[in-house]
Structure 1
Amino acid sequence: MIETKPADTPMSSPQVDAAIAAPNCAIQIVSMVHPSPVEFSHVEAHHTIAMQRQRKQAFSSGRYLVEGAEKRFEDIGRVLVVPANVPLQVRAEGGPTQAVRCIFSQDAYARITGLDELVHPNEMVGCLDVKSPRITDTLARLANEAEAPGFASRVLAEALGTSLMVEIARYVNDLQPRSTIQRGGLARRTHRQIIEYVETQNGTPSLSDLAKLTGLSRRHLSRAFKQTTGQTIYDYVEQVRFNRAANMLADTDFLIKDIAFKLGFTCSSSFSVAFRRACGETPKSFRKRMRPGAIEEAETPRSGAPIHAAF
């Protein structure tokens, strides 16, 4: 069984809000209040996969301090991997943060995957922003189980943790050195055009919308976008929509049903289901955590509403 403790930093110690200890892994939901802005270096004694649960920060970047890794600071995404005993230097907006973490030993990872190394240094940059719906979904399920344990929670956490180790091994196996990623990908102007369009539109732009915008066929656009970014257009659009949802819940007084409408959901019920699947908590509980003084509101609409949308 893994035992973990917070790494020493110049800041106050992290607070463990919920946890499950299983034979091969440990699950923690950890909260912390950082100075604003903040810069620090952090080392994990065991391999750690973490998913941020707060709204997207204005800036958050990092680099692994190990020979052969990218020396420049790169954007940190919602999910990142910290290999055991590899220092991670972070620069970020600061303020309150909360993350769900799955922690597993090098021995457990080697035993389950047959791999001695989690990731080679020249591919570590890809671990600062892990783009995998399966990994995100598994971490959200683990967060939900840690906060509201059900029957055989340790057994389920062990199974999900094992699945997560396999998924991260597959993800890392598909990583390519940065020098090869841009070949056959999007032109920088086209990539920027897509980002600006998606991040400024209400609702959910479709692949057809983006193909028309760029003048590319849907097939070529899909392939080139994946080659350039390492994620599908669908996953990128859903990531932007989730970040927008988190920002509106944390920073505005919009009703949950109005946020759902602005994001292109047919009803607040489908929005709530999608948000909980992506984050491990409902929009209502997320808003309450981010804004303790926010006015309470019901988030379950009339019965019979269709539930089909997802982040």
Structure 2
Amino acid sequence: MTNVIAAQQATQSSTIHVDAAIVAPNCTIQIVSAIHPTPVEYTHCEPHHAIAMQRQRKQAFSTGRYLIEGAEKRFEDIGRVLVLPANVPLEVRAEGGPTQAVRCIFNQDAYARITGLDELVHPNEMVGCLDVKSPRITDTLARLAGEAEAPGFASRVLAEALGTSLMVEIARYVNDLQPRSTIQRGGLARRTHRQIIEYVETQNGTPSLSDLAKLTGLSRRHLSRAFKQTTGQTIYDYVEQVRFNRAANMLADTDLLIKDIAFKLGFTCSSSFSVAFRRACGETPKSFRKRMRPGAPDEIASPLSLAA
């Protein structure tokens, strides 16, 4: 099934294709793909609440801002998961090229009935919805993607249950957001924050909390609290996010064997890497590589393998 949805475009034209879908009473699950101009600038507006998770490798440049009074006026980085409140235009400036995402769409009445909330998010907290960092939300979207692509017994019933839990998780996430103007003191110093980012993004394997505490000279407890207060996510979630992004980039842009990528990322074996990758994005490393590099063979000899 391939339907076509006209996305509202500000400056350049592109088309969103719905490759698979499950329609349940309270929500609709879609796998959508598009090929955008490079770079791309457009404005998108959903008639119903939606949450979307990108499935391609992280773009080098992807920013956006919600066009509503009271929201942040500056363009901010768009993460892997973002929320699209109903009837709120989102202006996007990005790298462009091919994209694919899983999204869950639900109307305002369903959200209000299930959560008891009339408003999805207050305008001055919307910037936190451009980069949603919640493993539970990510896992649920990955399960919904798998169900849409390969429906099983009672898929519609399962999608309805997962969609309902997703609405509750979104409500919890939004409830924990703080406007930037009300963030309390006590977070990380800018230098320490930058030190952690540089270390995590350049190290092979997975740095532990003890490693980062030793690096910064802070206690593990203080570091955990200050990092969460500064970034809105735990150190564990941040490290896993970086590891997934590195995995996606290596699968899409290098000829390394999957087992070599697993080793570089600190996994004990390729099977544990495959399980973790599938949990994070809803597909195996092998299928992700095939989708990003259609002409590539299943496994390509790599320098690490040849040197072993």
TM-score band (shorter)? over 0.9
Q: Which residue of 2 aligns with 1:8?
A: 8
Matches within 5 A, 1:34-183: 34-181=36-183, 183=185
Provide the rounded CA distance (Å) in 1 between the counterparts of 2:240 and 2:47.
33
Provide the rounded CA distance (Å) in 1 between the counterparts of 2:23 and 2:264.
40
Provide the rounded CA distance (Å) in 1 between the counterparts of 2:258 and 2:236.
23
TM-score normalised according to structure 1 size: 0.93
Residues 1:28 and 2:30 are matched in the alignment: yes
Provide the rounded CA distance (Å) in 2 between the counterparts of 1:51 and 1:126.
15
The sequence identity of aligned pairs, in percent, is: 90
Provide the rounded CA distance (Å) in 2 between the counterparts of 1:185 and 1:15.
43
Q: Which residue of 1 aligns with 2:198?
A: 196
Question: For residue 104 of structure 2, what is the amino acid of its counterpart?
Answer: C
Q: CA deviation at 1:5?
A: 4.2
* SS at structure 1 position matched to 2:296: coil
Provide the rounded CA distance (Å) in 1 between the counterparts of 2:64 and 2:185.
25
Q: CA deviation at 1:109?
A: 0.5
TM-score normalised according to structure 2 size: 0.94
Q: CA deviation at 1:188?
A: 0.5
Q: CA deviation at 1:16?
A: 1.1
* SS at structure 2 position matched to 1:84: coil
Q: CA deviation at 1:297?
A: 3.6
Provide the rounded CA distance (Å) in 1 between the counterparts of 2:286 and 2:224.
34
* SS at structure 2 position matched to 1:99: strand
| Equivalent residue in structure 2 for 1:246, among 245, 248, 251 | 248
* SS at structure 2 position matched to 1:266: coil
Provide the rounded CA distance (Å) in 1 between the counterparts of 2:182 and 2:42.
31
Residues 1:281 and 2:283 are matched in the alignment: yes
Provide the rounded CA distance (Å) in 2 between the counterparts of 1:22 and 1:280.
20
Please tell me the root mean square deviation across aligned C-alpha atoms, in Å: 1.4
- Which runs of no fewer than 5 residues in structure 1 stay unpaired? 299-311
Contact 2:29 2:144 in 1 (8 A): yes
Q: Are the structure 2 counterparts of residues 254 and 23 from structure 1 closer, same or farther at C-alpha, using a change threshold of 3 Å? A: same
Question: For residue 172 of structure 2, what is the amino acid of its counterpart?
Answer: R
Q: Which residue of 2 aligns with 1:306?
A: none
Provide the rounded CA distance (Å) in 2 between the counterparts of 1:238 and 1:73.
25
* SS at structure 2 position matched to 1:55: coil
Provide the rounded CA distance (Å) in 2 between the counterparts of 1:182 and 1:60.
28
* SS at structure 2 position matched to 1:165: helix
Q: Are the structure 2 counterparts of residues 41 and 264 from structure 1 closer, same or farther at C-alpha, using a change threshold of 3 Å? A: same
Question: For residue 37 of structure 1, what is the amino acid of its counterpart?
Answer: P
Question: For residue 66 of structure 1, what is the amino acid of its counterpart?
Answer: I
Contact 1:182 1:228 in 2 (8 A): no
Provide the rounded CA distance (Å) in 2 between the counterparts of 1:174 and 1:105.
22
Q: Which residue of 1 aligns with 2:257?
A: 255
Question: What per-residue deviation string (whole Å, max 9, x for no partner) do you get for residues 150-196 of structure 1?
Answer: 11000000000000000000000010011233521000000000000
Question: For residue 26 of structure 1, what is the amino acid of its counterpart?
Answer: T
Contact 2:14 2:37 in 1 (8 A): no
Question: For residue 140 of structure 2, what is the amino acid of its counterpart?
Answer: T
Q: Which residue of 1 aligns with 2:306?
A: none
Contact 2:5 2:18 in 1 (8 A): no
Question: What per-residue deviation string (whole Å, max 9, x for no partner) do you get for residues 265-297 of structure 1?
Answer: 000000000000000000000000000011114
Contact 1:80 1:128 in 2 (8 A): yes
* SS at structure 2 position matched to 1:265: coil
* SS at structure 1 position matched to 2:162: helix
* SS at structure 1 position matched to 2:42: strand
Deviates more, 1:289-298 or 1:76-85: 289-298
Provide the rounded CA distance (Å) in 2 between the counterparts of 1:11 and 1:142.
29
* SS at structure 1 position matched to 2:280: helix
Q: Which residue of 1 aligns with 2:303?
A: none
